[in-house]
């Protein structure tokens, strides 16, 4: 055989072998999934519930009109700081002041009448004492006259005279007693008139005081919807009266936020919170949960479910109040805010990235020692579990790299952080778990061969540059 034929045959054999090897490598690489991984490591975790709302003072009062009238003076402006008892506004009070003066005069007249009635009572009581003495003296004379007349020692005229004197004294005593009773009644009437006059004076004084408004406590005027010269009215039945102004006690500031109904079960009193205010960017304030609402609020309407006549399937929130421990001095009510409430913490916890968690059926876990070699073989089962939502058929776990294979390990989780979650059982520190990609994790079959590629994707590199 010629040499060139031998070379051609050798080259052909080499090419054939190269094709066979290339095909084998290509086929084997088709059965290997490229994954990203992360390490199981210890770190401090905190579960945070985020909610938005607005800044509100803990204590505030709407000062409403207590009387009808025109505003003659406004002594404050919106934004002014006021002290307790400071004069805020004055309504027209000519008529009410005149009523007070008139009733003061009536009280004085009634008190004078009461003094006169008391003096008359004392005079009547003195007359009663004198009449009683005359009665007693004439009664003794009459008793002696009866004895003497019986013994024939006095004349009939003296006897009749003493009897008439006793009868006169008896009538005078009855008259004095009647005058005392009359004086007592007049004295009581005078006292009642005095009380009535004083009550009227209290009433008109109250009406007069309601034309003057003062600060109930130290605070800030946060709302002043009226001006001097305007007339205000009081509320009648279901009609609200005029609001003169709002005073807020800014010494205690709160962030009133709405927490989603799925998170409210984890929120408790005195839990710490970090509060950010849109108007004061790049600054974090601290506080604690001081109040948790009992009634759900429909998110779309803002109406409490206790006030709704029909049940609603809409999303609901609960009101949570966070009291700030370090509020700034220039804070104003109504500013938009966000509160991040720490509901649970765990120090030095064994943690993995949240995206590493996935679900697999018990049948898939049992078959991981005999993998079919296709990363897409488990896709239909995974989709079925996800679509039907059968959590009782799905086992939560992660894929751990062992001998270049993805082994599914069931885990028990604990506190959830922002990007990581605590593993209570199933893993140990240093284990390498598969964290991505999402498509691979969704379809990866337990026991499949994998290739680790933790390089930054080209798209991410472009964004970073």
Digit-coded pLDDT (tens) for 167-202 = 998 899 899 999 999 999 999 999 999 999 999 999
- Three-state DSSP at 444 gives coil
Digit-coded pLDDT (tens) for 346-362 = 889 899 999 989 888 88
**What is the rounded distance in angstroms from the CA atom of residue 272 to the CA atom of residue 463?**
36
- Three-state DSSP at 151 gives coil
Q: Tell me the fold of 31-45+350-464.
A: 2.40.420
Contact status, residue 191 vs residue 118, Cβ threshold 8 Å: no
Q: What is the pLDDT of residue 375?
A: 47
Contact status, residue 422 vs residue 430, Cβ threshold 8 Å: no
Domain boundary assignment for the chain:
31-45+350-464, 95-209, 252-345
List the chain residues with pLDDT less than 50.
Answer: 23-29, 373-392, 459-465
**What is the rounded distance in angstroms from the CA atom of residue 41 to the CA atom of residue 428?**
8
- Residue 92 is encoded by which pair of tokens? 């027209």
Q: What is the pLDDT of residue 155?
A: 83
Q: What is the pLDDT of residue 196?
A: 94
Please state the φ and ψ torsions of residue 373, each to the nearest 5 degrees: 95, 5
**Cβ neighbours of residue 109 closer than 8 Å, sequence gap 6 or more:** 197
What percent of the residues of the chain are helix, what percent strand, and what percent coil, each to the nearest 5? 40, 35, 25
- Residue 67 is encoded by which pair of tokens? 């009387």
Strands 450-452 and 33-39: parallel
**What is the rounded distance in angstroms from the CA atom of residue 55 to the CA atom of residue 271?**
18
Q: What is the pLDDT of residue 205?
A: 93
Detail the DSSP E strand segments found in 234-393.
243-260, 272-277, 280-298, 316-324, 336-353, 358-361
Q: Which CATH superfamily is domain 252-345 in?
A: Efflux pump adaptor protein, beta barrel domain (2.40.30.170)
**What is the rounded distance in angstroms from the CA atom of residue 105 to the CA atom of residue 107?**
5
- C-alpha separations of 216 from 60, 93, 171, 252, 410 in Å: 10, 21, 67, 16, 63
Contact status, residue 428 vs residue 422, Cβ threshold 8 Å: no
- Peptide bond preceding 437: is omega within 30 degrees of 0, i.e. cis? yes
**What is the rounded distance in angstroms from the CA atom of residue 182 to the CA atom of residue 379?**
110
Comparing 31-45+350-464 with 252-345, is the CATH topology the same? Answer: no
């Amino acid at each position: 055989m010629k040499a060139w034929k031998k070379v051609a045959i050798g080259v052909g054999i080499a090419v054939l072998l190269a094709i066979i090897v290339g095909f084998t490598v290509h086929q084997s690489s088709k059965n290997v999934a490229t994954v990203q991984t992360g390490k199981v490591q210890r770190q401090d975790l905190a579960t945070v519930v985020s909610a938005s709302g607005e800044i509100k003072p803990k204590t505030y009062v709407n000062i409403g009109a207590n009387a009808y009238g025109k505003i003659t003076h406004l002594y404050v402006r919106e934004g002014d700081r006021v002290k307790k008892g400071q004069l805020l506004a004055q309504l027209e009070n000519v008529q009410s002041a005149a009523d007070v003066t008139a009733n003061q005069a009536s009280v004085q007249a009634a008190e004078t009448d009461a003094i006169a009635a008391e003096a008359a009572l004392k005079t009547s009581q003195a007359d009663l004492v004198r009449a009683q003495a005359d009665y007693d003296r004439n009664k003794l004379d009459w008793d002696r006259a009866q004895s003497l007349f019986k013994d024939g020692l006095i004349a009939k005229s003296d006897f009749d005279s003493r009897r008439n004197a006793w009868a006169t004294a008896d009538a005078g005593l009855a008259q004095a007693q009647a005058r005392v009773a009359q004086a007592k009644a007049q004295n009581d009437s005078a006292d009642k008139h005095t009380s009535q006059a004083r009550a009227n004076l209290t009433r008109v004084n109250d009406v007069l005081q309601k034309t003057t408004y003062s600060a109930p406590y130290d605070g800030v005027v946060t709302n002043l919807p009226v001006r001097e010269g305007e007339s205000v009215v009081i509320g009648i039945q279901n009609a609200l009266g005029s609001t003169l102004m709002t005073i807020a006690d800014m010494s205690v500031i709160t962030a009133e936020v709405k927490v989603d109904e799925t998170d409210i079960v984890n929120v408790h009193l005195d839990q710490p919170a970090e509060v950010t205010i849109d108007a004061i960017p790049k600054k974090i304030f601290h506080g604690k949960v001081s109040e948790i609402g009992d009634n759900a609020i429909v998110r779309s309407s803002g109406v409490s479910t206790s006030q709704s006549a029909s049940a609603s399937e809409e999303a609901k929130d609960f009101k949570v109040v966070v009291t700030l421990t370090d509020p700034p001095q220039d804070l104003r009510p109504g500013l938009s805010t966000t509160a991040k409430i720490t509901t649970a913490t765990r120090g030095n916890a064994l943690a993995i990235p949240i995206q590493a968690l996935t679900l697999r059926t018990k049948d898939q876990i049992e078959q991981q020692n005999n993998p079919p070699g296709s990363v897409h073989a488990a896709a239909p089962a995974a989709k079925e579990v996800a679509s039907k939502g059968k959590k009782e058929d799905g086992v939560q776990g992660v894929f751990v790299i062992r001998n270049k294979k993805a082994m599914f390990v069931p885990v028990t989780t604990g506190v959830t952080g922002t990007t990581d979650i605590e593993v209570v059982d199933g893993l140990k520190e240093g284990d390498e778990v598969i964290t991505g990609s999402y498509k691979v994790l969704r379809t990866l079959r337990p026991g499949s061969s994998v290739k680790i590629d933790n390089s930054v994707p080209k798209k991410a590199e472009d964004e970073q540059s």
